[in-house]
Every structure is written in C-alpha cells, then in structure tokens.
Amino acid sequence: MSLPRTNAFRFKQFAVIQEQSAMKVGTDGVLLGAWVSLSDAEPPGRILDIGTGTGVIALMMAQRTETLSGTAVVDAVEADIPAGEEAARNFASSPWAGRLRVYVMPVQQYAAAYGEAEKYSLIVSNPPYFMAGTDFRRGFDTSAAASQPGPARVAARHAEMLPYDDLIGAVLALLRPDGRFAAIFPYREAGIFIAKAAARGLFVRRLLEVRGAPHKPVKRVAVELSLHRPAREEVVRETLCIEDGQGNFTEAYRGLTRDFYLKF
C-alpha cells in the first residue's frame, strides 16, 4: 500500500496521512519520539503509544528500534475512531507494518482489558494535556488549525478526555516493573503531572526543558519516568532550544531530529 502524495507529511523513511486525526504532525510529538532514550543497553521488547493520533510517534519508535538487538513490537491506542483508522493506514504503508498494531479504544478500556496480559518496557504519549480554560494555541503551534480549532482538535488538546489520574493509572497497569514512561507537556502542566505521578510511584529519571529560542521561557518539558525513585543527583536534566534567536534551527535540534525531517 502506498500513501497519496497529497495531504501526507513526509519523513525520511515514512509518511503520514493526517486528514482524519484532530492533532496533526507537530513539534511536540517529533521531539518526544526523537528524544526518548533507546539503546541496546535497554532494548525495549514491547512499546506502547498512548493517544497515537496519526501514529507518528509509534512510527518513529519502529524506525529507531530497527537497528537495536531484538525486534520491538509497537502497539498504539487511539480513542478517536477516524484517527485510529488513519493511524492503521499509516502503519500499513510503512516499512515496519509487521511490527505495528493499533487498538481503537480509550486507553482506560485497553488497560482494563489487557493490563494483566500486556506489559510494556516502554510507554510513550503526547497526551491531551491542557487543563480546561487553557489556550493551547499559544506556544509552538502556529498552524491554521491552531488559530481556528474545530471541536475534535479542542477535545484532543484538553485533558477532560484523558485526565492525568487516568493516564497514570493506565501506565501503572501496563508498564513492566523495569519499564519507562515518556511524555511531553507544556511547562505548567509538566509540574502538575510530575507531582501526581510521584504520588502514585512514578518518578522522573530524565527531563528535557525546551525553549523556542535562548531568550524565550521554557515552553515544553519532556520527561521519562520509572517505578524506581532515583537519587536527586541521578536525575538527568537537559535543555534544548529549537531556534538560535535569529530564525535558524539550532544544531542541537537538527541533530536530534535529523533521522526524521527531510529538511535536515
């Protein structure tokens, strides 16, 4: 199966149709997919992408694990039926179709149905993280869809559809004892989520603060969490600027995403 040339966002090794998913390909998802740690030292046997949307993060996980020892299976959960069907098409059109599966259901339902049998060494999510009343159009997203969002996009970007407590509960039900959970949030919401997660036994082991440019405040925070509380000095803290302040992408951002974006 091949993807149509129109209305597809093309990466170096795959492409995604994004006509049905409320959330289009954006900086947040690509950042998370490129940043989460993957190595032969901790090869993930099973990966889960919660709220997969177009499937872009799951596809990035499939690409990145292609060269690791073992063969990672990448599952994806999507509550929105049109988005889930679109992700399935994108998976089927990729070079890793045999390692990608999508389940069209809320993750709460998925965890209840499969939590005893399906355990993951890595769970990733670009969740619907804005609290009610938050203007999600501010920040990195300057697309036309952001300036005039429809009901589906509003729902996808507001946490009533997947409250933090439900997300944490699903992760706890589905994560292996030695597994990791990685997600990306706006700055304020990151603090809220980290506190809620720690109260239930999920602790930050790695954290990335993202600025649009050096002179701008932190806009996004990516985190990796595990069930083991690290010592304060063991938490890895990183920073990243998307641009250099003169309208150019920084070499750090280019280096992080170079395996994916065509322009890099």
CATH of the domain at 29: 3.40.50.150
Size of the chain in residues: 264
pLDDT at site 156: 45
Tens of pLDDT, residues 205-264: 999 999 999 999 999 999 999 999 999 999 999 999 999 999 999 999 999 999 999 988
Q: Report the domain count for the chain.
A: 1
Which pTM was predicted?
0.87
Using alpha carbons, select from 8, 29, 32 the residue that is nearest to residue 20: 8
For residue 263, being part of any structural domain is answered with: no
Tens of pLDDT, residues 162-218: 899 999 999 999 999 999 999 999 999 999 999 999 999 999 999 999 999 999 999
Residue 145 in tokens: 């869809």
- How many C-beta neighbours within 10 Å does residue 183 have? 25
Tens of pLDDT, residues 48-106: 999 999 999 999 999 999 988 777 999 999 999 999 999 999 999 999 999 999 999 99
Contacts of 146 (CB under 8 A, 6+ apart): 136, 137, 153
For residue 32, being part of any structural domain is answered with: yes
Identify the domain containing residue 59 by its residue range: 8-257
Using alpha carbons, select from 140, 122, 129, 146 the residue that is nearest to residue 58: 122
Residue 75 in tokens: 């599952």
For residue 190, being part of any structural domain is answered with: yes
- How many C-beta neighbours within 10 Å does residue 89 have? 18
For residue 2, being part of any structural domain is answered with: no
Report the alpha-carbon distance of residue 122 to residue 37 in Å, rounded. Answer: 10
For residue 149, being part of any structural domain is answered with: yes
Contacts of 172 (CB under 8 A, 6+ apart): 200, 201, 202
CB-based contact 69:43 (threshold 8 Å):
yes
For residue 3, being part of any structural domain is answered with: no
Residue 241 in tokens: 């600027």
